[in-house]
Structure 1
Amino acid sequence: MKKPTQHDPDTLPSKAAILDFIAANPGKVGTREIARAFGLKNNLRAELKRLLRDLADEGAVARGGHKGKKLHHPGALASTLLADIVSRDRDGDFIAVPDEWDEDEHGAAPKIRIFSPRKPRPGEAAGLGDKVLLHVDEVEPEDGISHRGRIIKIVERPKHRVLGIFRANPKGGGRLEPVDKKMLGREMQIPQGATGDAEDGDLVAVEAQRISRFGPPNGRIVERLGSLKSEKAVSLIAIHAHSIPDVFRRETINEAEAARPARLEGGREDWRKLPLITIDPADAKDHDDAVHAEEDSDPSNRGGYIVTVAIADVAHYVTPGSALDREALVRGNSVYFPDRVVPMLPERISNDLCSLKPNEDRAALAVQMIIGADGRKRDHKFHRIMMRSAAKLAYEQAQAAIDGRPDDTTGPLVEPILKPLYAAYEALKRARDERGPLDLDIPERKIVLKPDSTVDRVIVPARLDAHRLIEEMMILANVAAAESLEKARTPLIYRVHDEPGIEKVNALREFLASLDMPLAKAGALRASNFNAILGRVKGTERETLVNEVVLRSQAQAEYSAENYGHFGLNLRRYAHFTSPIRRYADLIVHRALIRALHMGKDGLPESFALPELSEIAAEISATERRAMLAERETKDRLIAHFLADRIGATFEAKVGGMHRAGLFVKLADTGADGFVPARTIGDEYFRYDEAGHALTGSRSGESFRLGDSVTVKLVEAAPVAGALRFELLSHGRRGTPPADRGRRFDRERSGGKKFKDYGAKGRDDKGRDAKAGAFKSDAAKGHDEKKRSEERRRKFGKKNSRHKVRKNKGKRK
């Protein structure tokens, strides 16, 4: 990267200097890179962001790259961008064009010739119509093409197929019930002879055959994906809807089965006498981290501790370029559903050779950390070891033992192992409180299933000190890994979390101002600024509301080969090291440590540098987001199944999001999300106030705000899509009607083009799809038509209404 000339760190660079720097590094720099290159102090970051926003508003710079964080001159291509594959050249190479391009301002979109450095594996090859993430370089123009691109990831394929549940007709054929919320109410007919081998209740893929203006489209079943009558069926929908690989290739399984336990050789240290223990959820099947703590006998560290964290040595079994490695990269991470786990690695590796089972020899990478009495890490050192776990404990089991209720397993461990661990945690907690990470209180619910994989109940597990103990020790080990690799100047993949964007912070500031809670404008924001706000509302009726709004103002954590810190944890450097069984990022960090500290020949290849790791970081960030979405959708479907037989029941809920089409509510007992269409709220138009997170009545001023407690009635459930529709039974807050109320609202309420009650689409505050008309059953449509007829009669009178019908009949004749 070309750097600017030396600059005064106490002043902002000129616009011209910034533009020159961006021109010299097109598509490679963002806010952080500019601040670092010019050596700017932290208190100038906010002003720099405002300056860059002004340049964007003036059209002097444009944003591109992954998630739009990199800057370039308008008309130039970013080094990483989304593109659509549109054609082939005469040699058969794919030609792509940028996904976003302003032809009016910059002319025709530049063409990018795609090349592949290796032969793609089956199922990975790109095709026409695909949307891909590319790494782009400028080349000598040839046939009017001046750029070439390398595919990092296929982001989206053309949606020729529709997933759904096949409902058979006894007379032949049937219909498709789509699983996508956005397609609710848009069933597809499957003619006789087009059903393949599908049976009633099967999850199938269908290709549309005919789309007509009248009646539902016809389709043909092209693939039977599984039966929803079988166990573990609900997660099957998400697996196929998001193209999550759930069957390992034969070569991967063969390689895993051929693996043999690691031996105490090649410089591996023997730590089998150190009583490390694992503490995990009670239902965990793999155990990849173990901990130990003891008082430090060094007189210079009085009151301090030696904390050891040992992590399964996955890198010994999954070597670079192997079948196991290739498939682990494609998967990116394990995916956890309530009824199953889709693992990143085969069970032979994850649940056997790399699971730190009690009283069995296991290979591990361990970090031993010296902790002062103040909880701060003074020093650390990594070791490649052979260990033997002394015990396998559940969180609740460990907590009960330390609270004076030991069992047969924990009784002998309390004094020698558990008490030193908890004492070390108390010291670490002091350092954590002083560091001040973002302290959001958002309870997480867990779905408990019956043996048949249906929902038994939904619970909020207690947050124990045992959870916090493991969490703090893992964070400490992750920091140590990042520090060691930076010191050795070895490339790595960081876990990064950007500070909130200017737009989100301004929106949050406006919202907090409406609650008489100012948010500082001067200087760069820190997690402590948000914690001060959260502390003010703790224990009040505003606590849930403010926690939700602060959460939504935050950026999403991701993986990156370039470090820009972790805002939420308030850490300057952070890497994932502690879960290589289920995250590919951790496996990369393990290999980097082996390479940097000369602990074996199976480390990160010397050829791996920043560009390669940047591509891997982009891929695994995408697989992580895919997993989160699939997990959330599966929980929605399970709870919708659970509530499907409770139509008409009332529930206590909170407003969890909103859009001009209506309210999203979250039930208090199950945490289920549902939708209340705006047209069903009262008898007036409700206007969406985005800044205030509220829907407000045009005449009465009645309003519903994010976090408000409400009573709702379940009106309709669509279990296959995981969708619930509610009716609001409680009233909102009384207030002053909006200043611009009047005819415009009445016009919109009566069906103006600006607002349609049913069928309005949009996104709520969490980015979920909102479609108010999603649940329109035939019965509901008939009821609404009858209601509209009665309204016409009241408005025009009985005589006029009949006259209108006769007039229309005459026209039809």
Structure 2
Amino acid sequence: MKQLPSINDIRLWLADNPGATRRDIAKAFGIKGGAKIDLKVMLRELEAEGTLAPRHRSVRGGNALPPVTVLEINAPDAEGDLFARPVEWRGEGAAPVILFLTQPGDPALGQGDRVLAKLEAIRGPDYDYQAKLIRKLGANPTRILGIFRKEAQGGRIVPIDKGADRFWSVTETGGAEDGELVHAEPVTKGRFGPSRAKVVERLGDPTAPKAVSLIAIHQHGIRDAFPDAVVAEADKAGPVPEKGRRDLRALPLMTIDPWDARDHDDAILAEADSDPKNEGGYILWVAIADVAAYVRPNSELDREARRRGNSTYFPDRVVPMLPDILSGDLCSLHEGVDRPCIALRMVIDAQGNKRSHAFFRAMMCSVASLTYEQAQAADEGTLDEATAPLAGVLSDLFGAYRALTRARQRRQPLDLDLPERQIVLSEEGRVTSVAFKERFDAHRLVEEFMVLANVAAAETLREKGSALLYRVHEEPSPEKMEALRELARESGFALAKGQVLMTRHFNQLLAQAEGTEFDELMNMATLRSMTQAYYAPQNFGHFGLALREYAHFTSPIRRYADLIVHRGLISAHKWGDDGLSPWDIENLEETAKQISEAERRSMAAERDTADRYLAAYLADRVGAEFTGRISGVARFGVFVKLDETGADGLVPIRSIGDEYFRHDAEAQALEGEKTGFRIGLGQRVKVKLAEAEPVTGGLALELLEVEGEAPARSSGRRGRKGPVRRAVSKGAKGKAKAKKKVKRNRG
């Protein structure tokens, strides 16, 4: 007899199949005969809780919705209200408009989330029902993004997601042409046959230049168009009154940013401290754009900024948190222009310890907008037209940085060495080069100033009892630590055990691996062992930075969390009426969840865009050979990061040699059943590019060599000289692994 599903299994199935009948449920789970009696008991329970419509009430006909139904949440409107639509509507005309009322304690809801809700028919001015949450059923994409393929009867949509193994059958094509990128909405989800969808929007040629970031924007639900009310409010912005602000325009504050920076949040300055009691010390200034002066609580700009959470950056465009008139002009600290700011004065000693700090609401005027390259060249003795007049100021900046470096070395934050790639595009939007960004002391200088400023903001708000959002990074889980410790042991290194885990222990591991063939492996594995940082009203510390308290203060143009911190400082210092509102404080937990989710969404969109650009760049090099390093191991294959571009590709397990490979999840390795040939994380490899798909960003690779040896061929022997590895006994496995790895030569 077919095993009965759990009641939760049925709930989840109903969420994806709204309006299903009891017969549909029995058929979907293969329930027959006497088992239907037990099924009826569960269905009555689901009917009582409102998950399943009562038998006498059909949601398939009539013009009224049942009192309990499944809804899909729409994007918030310009007023910040949430509306929803019934997932199943078979009535005449358009579906009724449903206002969704959030209650204290409800989970964060966003566009595309599905909920089971209780409805009340209320004829409001612009809606027909009010809804309250019973249960969140899970998030589904509001739309499918994919390539339309025309067929004799309609067509099909192939999703653009890497690894997608399903397609959608389409009868309502919306006039889409073969090969076009389209948005579609699900009509039904087939359990045994193809799912059906209808095209609702045509987006054009997916291979066109600059379409890459557009795909990611649509796929991840990044808000890329400002509502008219938000734009109108931004257009009304004007100069900020100077009254009550400290005048810092005589200070030679300057910005140091990437050459392609789209906005300037922060300006810095350092001066040698003349106090004889602080010999070798410095006075540091960090001035941050006063975005709170323009974006007031509960305004149209504020509500939209909160929804967006942060700006999202792509190689060809930026989707800003604030309209360009603010982000690119009025709030940006441009050279030679008076700007309102929140300034921080800090005093450090010769060892980089912060002795005191104070915040001011001020006016400033940047004396220069330098690039990292310019600042670095000046420190190395090469001055240009912009840096020559500032030679003394820059010398003090780097002197202060070296003092802060001494403090950093004592604190021992996590010191990962992971290069960042840069994709350079032509004016037409095609990739011209992919390189790794060079790291200068100038980069680290700005980072150290910003870290110290963020700490000062957290300390001040905590001391004044103000609400704020902390940037939280919790320590790794014991399970991840044990996996990293095992990998380190197999590679011939040691990670401390049996004591309170601190970042210096990870740094000791990285120092052991530095300069060896396991250098990159240990950096990658350490990064993967870390938890993901997030925002919270509670302070749980920042493990990676080895700091007890930390808050984002330095980038309010592009991060909503920083704007909340600015408002906290304004309220705490009683600088004006544009500080934290009662609503801000009451909804701080919800704001933290929302902007943390927005940050993860942006990171995924940025990563997917880079993958697609890299796939397009490599598309005409299919068949070429590349060197790289194994960056991930899974049951279905291994991921390889290519040296030349940093692109990640997949080697399917079915394509490796001619033997069966077992997956060792703990050791993050694959092992050949016949030969014992091992393929593990961090190994040097040579691969051939088998396929590059720009639309999905997927790269398929063929494995040629691992540490100079080829996988076994049909003869059972490898194509390179060297003894065939034999499977080892379970007891000797750990020692054998370590011995093999230590003997490998660096590629």
- Residue number among 729, 737, 740 corresponding to 2:727 in the alignment: 737
Q: Are 1:136 and 2:113 an aligned pair?
A: no
- Offset at 1:682? 1.2
**SS of alignment partner, residue 283 of structure 1:** coil
Retained in 2: the 8 A contact 1:696–1:738? no
| Aligned residue identity for 1:234 | V
Change in CA separation of 1:229 and 1:510 when aligned onto 2, cut-off 3 Å = closer
- Residues in 1 aligned to 2:603 and 2:137: alpha-carbon distance in whole angstroms: 16
Retained in 1: the 8 A contact 2:653–2:661? yes
Report the equivalent of 2:164.
183
- Residue number among 159, 162, 176 corresponding to 2:144 in the alignment: 162
- Residue number among 388, 399, 409 corresponding to 1:411 in the alignment: 388
Report the equivalent of 1:425.
401
Change in CA separation of 1:490 and 1:675 when aligned onto 2, cut-off 3 Å = same
Report the equivalent of 2:57.
none
Retained in 2: the 8 A contact 1:334–1:344? yes
- For residues 508-559 of structure 1, the C-alpha deviation after alignment (integer angstroms, 9 at most, x for no partner) is 2222222343323223200011111111110110111111111111111111
Change in CA separation of 1:179 and 1:606 when aligned onto 2, cut-off 3 Å = same
Report the equivalent of 1:546.
522
- Residues in 2 aligned to 1:706 and 1:623: alpha-carbon distance in whole angstroms: 31
Seq. identity, %: 51
- Offset at 1:151? 7.6
- Offset at 1:707? 0.8
Report the equivalent of 1:19.
none
| Aligned residue identity for 1:573 | E
Retained in 2: the 8 A contact 1:87–1:128? no
Retained in 2: the 8 A contact 1:312–1:356? yes
Q: Are 1:679 and 2:651 an aligned pair?
A: no
Report the equivalent of 1:569.
545
Retained in 2: the 8 A contact 1:135–1:152? no
Report the equivalent of 2:430.
454
- Residue number among 449, 452, 455 corresponding to 1:476 in the alignment: 452
- Residue number among 591, 594, 607 corresponding to 1:619 in the alignment: 594
- For residues 94-133 of structure 1, the C-alpha deviation after alignment (integer angstroms, 9 at most, x for no partner) is xxxxxxxxx99xx999899999xxx953684345679999
Report the equivalent of 1:559.
535
Report the equivalent of 1:510.
486
- For residues 313-333 of structure 1, the C-alpha deviation after alignment (integer angstroms, 9 at most, x for no partner) is 000000000000000000000
- For residues 221-242 of structure 1, the C-alpha deviation after alignment (integer angstroms, 9 at most, x for no partner) is 1112354365421011111111
- Residues in 2 aligned to 1:173 and 1:542: alpha-carbon distance in whole angstroms: 53
- Residues in 2 aligned to 1:486 and 1:110: alpha-carbon distance in whole angstroms: 44
**SS of alignment partner, residue 136 of structure 1:** coil
Between 1:277-286 and 1:199-208, the stretch displaced more is 199-208
Q: Are 1:392 and 2:374 an aligned pair?
A: no
Change in CA separation of 1:377 and 1:213 when aligned onto 2, cut-off 3 Å = closer
- Residues in 1 aligned to 2:133 and 2:390: alpha-carbon distance in whole angstroms: 53
| Aligned residue identity for 2:216 | A
Question: So what's the TM-score if we normalise by structure 1?
Answer: 0.72
Report the equivalent of 2:211.
233
- For residues 651-700 of structure 1, the C-alpha deviation after alignment (integer angstroms, 9 at most, x for no partner) is 11110101111111111101111111111111111111112111111111
**SS of alignment partner, residue 550 of structure 1:** helix
1:90-169 to structure 2, matched below 5 A, reads 121=77, 124-126=82-84, 136=105, 157-159=139-141, 161-167=143-149
Report the equivalent of 1:436.
412
Retained in 1: the 8 A contact 2:207–2:695? no
Retained in 2: the 8 A contact 1:134–1:152? no
**SS of alignment partner, residue 433 of structure 2:** strand
Change in CA separation of 1:530 and 1:249 when aligned onto 2, cut-off 3 Å = same
- Residues in 1 aligned to 2:449 and 2:251: alpha-carbon distance in whole angstroms: 17
- Offset at 1:507? 1.6
- Residue number among 288, 291, 294 corresponding to 1:317 in the alignment: 294
| Aligned residue identity for 2:596 | S
1:738-777 to structure 2, matched below 5 A, reads 738-739=728-729
Between 1:694-703 and 1:200-209, the stretch displaced more is 200-209
Change in CA separation of 1:230 and 1:508 when aligned onto 2, cut-off 3 Å = closer
Report the equivalent of 1:63.
none
**SS of alignment partner, residue 696 of structure 2:** coil
- Offset at 1:597? 1.0
- For residues 25-48 of structure 1, the C-alpha deviation after alignment (integer angstroms, 9 at most, x for no partner) is xxxxxxxxxxxxxxxxxxxxxxxx
Change in CA separation of 1:620 and 1:421 when aligned onto 2, cut-off 3 Å = same
Change in CA separation of 1:469 and 1:731 when aligned onto 2, cut-off 3 Å = closer
Change in CA separation of 1:162 and 1:640 when aligned onto 2, cut-off 3 Å = same
Q: Are 1:591 and 2:567 an aligned pair?
A: yes
Retained in 2: the 8 A contact 1:202–1:228? yes
- Residues in 2 aligned to 1:120 and 1:188: alpha-carbon distance in whole angstroms: 28
Retained in 2: the 8 A contact 1:368–1:381? yes
Q: Are 1:341 and 2:331 an aligned pair?
A: no
Change in CA separation of 1:213 and 1:157 when aligned onto 2, cut-off 3 Å = closer
| Aligned residue identity for 2:212 | V
Between 1:477-486 and 1:724-733, the stretch displaced more is 724-733
- For residues 677-730 of structure 1, the C-alpha deviation after alignment (integer angstroms, 9 at most, x for no partner) is 111111111111112111111111111111111111111222111101111111
Retained in 2: the 8 A contact 1:279–1:393? yes
- Residues in 2 aligned to 1:397 and 1:344: alpha-carbon distance in whole angstroms: 29
- For residues 47-105 of structure 1, the C-alpha deviation after alignment (integer angstroms, 9 at most, x for no partner) is xxxxxxxxxxxxxxxxxxxxxxxxxxxxxxxxxxxx989999xxxxxxxxxxxxxx99x
Report the equivalent of 1:747.
none
Q: How many residues align?
A: 629
- Offset at 1:397? 1.1
- Residue number among 196, 215, 218 corresponding to 2:174 in the alignment: 196
Report the equivalent of 2:741.
none
| Aligned residue identity for 2:105 | V
- For residues 482-515 of structure 1, the C-alpha deviation after alignment (integer angstroms, 9 at most, x for no partner) is 0000000001000010000111112222222223
- Residues in 1 aligned to 2:652 and 2:179: alpha-carbon distance in whole angstroms: 30
Q: Are 1:658 and 2:658 an aligned pair?
A: no
Question: So what's the TM-score if we normalise by structure 2?
Answer: 0.78
Report the equivalent of 1:703.
678
Q: CA RMSD in A?
A: 3.6
Retained in 2: the 8 A contact 1:129–1:158? no
- Offset at 1:195? 3.0
Report the equivalent of 2:608.
633
Retained in 1: the 8 A contact 2:155–2:169? yes
Q: Gaps (5+ residues) in structure 1?
A: 1-82, 89-102, 139-144, 742-813
Retained in 2: the 8 A contact 1:497–1:567? yes
- Offset at 1:245? 0.5
- Residues in 2 aligned to 1:648 and 1:133: alpha-carbon distance in whole angstroms: 55
Retained in 2: the 8 A contact 1:376–1:428? yes
Retained in 2: the 8 A contact 1:85–1:128? no
Change in CA separation of 1:700 and 1:279 when aligned onto 2, cut-off 3 Å = same
- Offset at 1:168? 5.5
- Residue number among 274, 280, 289 corresponding to 1:297 in the alignment: 274
Between 1:485-494 and 1:222-231, the stretch displaced more is 222-231
- Residues in 1 aligned to 2:388 and 2:240: alpha-carbon distance in whole angstroms: 32
- Offset at 1:644? 1.3
**SS of alignment partner, residue 462 of structure 1:** coil
- Offset at 1:634? 0.6
- Residues in 2 aligned to 1:153 and 1:127: alpha-carbon distance in whole angstroms: 16
- For residues 754-776 of structure 1, the C-alpha deviation after alignment (integer angstroms, 9 at most, x for no partner) is xxxxxxxxxxxxxxxxxxxxxxx
- Offset at 1:731? 3.9
Change in CA separation of 1:729 and 1:310 when aligned onto 2, cut-off 3 Å = same
- Offset at 1:305? 0.4
- For residues 388-436 of structure 1, the C-alpha deviation after alignment (integer angstroms, 9 at most, x for no partner) is 0000000011111221221111111112x11110111010110011110
- Residues in 2 aligned to 1:625 and 1:153: alpha-carbon distance in whole angstroms: 24
- Residues in 1 aligned to 2:104 and 2:633: alpha-carbon distance in whole angstroms: 37
